[in-house]
């Protein structure tokens, strides 16, 4: 089969519009070898378990197709991913490589159960907070290595297994990827300057295109580059820093703010289980930041709790990033892949 022949389709999650059918070539699986080596640290005899559903690139490729290509074992679970269920599966099948999302790692850390036999832990989908990383490490003794990707290009920035973390960096490009930070005119951004995360057309893991969506395909391919829609920066040492989706950026007081930065602070409060922030227009030209918060079990949703969380945010964020209102929810709207749908909160 020709390397450029279509092999499989995946649909985008629809966080920023109607889901698109992404066409991937046969070459894409071969292109994931660097990821298997540098991020997953694949070894003979590994048993790999990705807790996510298979309609997501992270699960389909990292958790199954790539695993099969290397002759390893893949565990597929179609039940409810509670901490108790996952621990039983890990122990029963001797899982060595565990792949999940930040919310699941939070559950496992709260469950306070060691994971004997697990060697590699990977996370993708949403930004992993320092709080979750440290709590999970304290409970299990394991590090969680993050990866960043998208349906159109799977995972292409990773924290390489065994290497020391650099601040809040999401890591570096895989060895076979031509990844850059570009300004709107497609010229390279300067070190530490925020721009569009882009990959070169020649990257073998990049999609062939969208099925019957020519206008949107034209918007993402510009010149020699595929524009991801993500914002990021890169330091002089080549470490990349993820700033969030361009479509998710908040506008408040004339500033553009990454919701993830505010959410990470809120999630560090002892009463907060999870949060999502959006900006709302009070009147023309005046926006404020609303925070939607899920409280930990046993915490009362009242004005006293809201004030404590707002005061905490005030202490740890610049003034223009302060949430002005808190709304307590039982759950946040998410896609089937666990990504927060902030647009449903506006």
**pLDDT tens digits, one per residue of 204-241:** 999 999 999 999 999 899 999 999 888 899 999 999 99
Distance CA(48)–CA(100), nearest Å, equals: 11
Helices then strands (H, E): number in the chain?
10, 20
- Looking at residues 230-256, what average pLDDT do you find? 81
pTM of the model: 0.81
Q: Check residue 283 and give its pLDDT.
A: 67
Buried/exposed 276-295: b ≥16 CB within 10 Å, e otherwise: bbbbeeeeeeebebbbbbbb
Which of 141-144's residues contact partners 24+ apart within 8 Å by CB, and which partners?
141/114, 142/115, 142/118, 144/105
- Of 197, 184, 190, give the one whose Cα is nearest residue 242: 197
313 pLDDT higher than 70: yes
- pLDDT level of residue 17 (50, 70, 90 thresholds): low
Distance CA(295)–CA(278), nearest Å, equals: 18
Residue 56 in tokens:
């997501």
What is the DSSP code (8-state) at residue 247? G
- Looking at residues 194-209, what average pLDDT do you find? 93
12 pLDDT higher than 90: no
Burial class (CB in 10 A: 0-12, 13-18, 19+), 324: middle
Q: Using an 8 Å Cβ cutoff, are 111 and 105 in contact?
A: no
């Amino acid at each position: 089969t020709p390397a450029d022949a279509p092999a499989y389709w995946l649909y985008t999650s629809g966080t920023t519009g109607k889901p698109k059918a992404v066409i991937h070539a046969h070459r894409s699986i071969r292109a994931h070898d660097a990821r298997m080596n540098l991020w997953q640290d694949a070894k003979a005899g590994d048993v790999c378990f990705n807790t996510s559903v298979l309609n997501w690139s992270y699960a389909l490729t990292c958790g199954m197709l790539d695993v099969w290509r290397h002759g390893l074992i893949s565990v597929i679970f179609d039940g409810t991913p509670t901490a108790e269920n996952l621990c039983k599966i890990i122990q029963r099948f001797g899982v060595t490589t565990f792949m999940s999302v930040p919310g699941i790692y939070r559950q496992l850390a709260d469950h306070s159960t060691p994971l004997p036999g697990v060697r590699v832990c990977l996370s993708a989908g949403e930004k992993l907070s320092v709080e979750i990383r440290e709590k999970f490490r304290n409970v299990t003794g394991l590090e969680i290595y993050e990866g960043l990707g998208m349906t159109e290009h799977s995972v292409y920035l990773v924290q390489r297994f065994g290497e020391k973390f650099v601040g809040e960096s999401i890591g570096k490009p895989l060895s076979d990827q031509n990844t850059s930070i570009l300004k709107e005119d497609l010229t390279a951004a300067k070190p530490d300057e925020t721009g569009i995360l882009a990959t070169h057309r020649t990257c073998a893991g990049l999609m062939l295109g969208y099925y019957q969506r020519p206008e949107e395909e034209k918007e993402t391919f510009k010149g020699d580059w595929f524009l991801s829609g993500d914002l990021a920066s890169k330091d002089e040492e080549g470490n990349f820093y993820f700033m969030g989706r361009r479509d998710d950026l908040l506008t408040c007081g004339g500033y553009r703010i990454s919701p993830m930065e505010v959410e990470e602070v809120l999630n560090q409060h002892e009463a907060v289980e999870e949060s999502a922030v959006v900006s709302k227009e009070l009147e023309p030209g005046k926006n404020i930041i609303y925070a939607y918060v899920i409280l930990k079990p046993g915490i009362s949703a009242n004005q006293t709790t809201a004030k404590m969380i707002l005061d905490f945010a005030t202490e740890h964020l610049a003034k223009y990033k302060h949430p002005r209102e808190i709304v307590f929810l039982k759950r946040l709207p998410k896609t089937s892949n666990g990504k927060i749908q902030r647009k449903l909160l506006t």
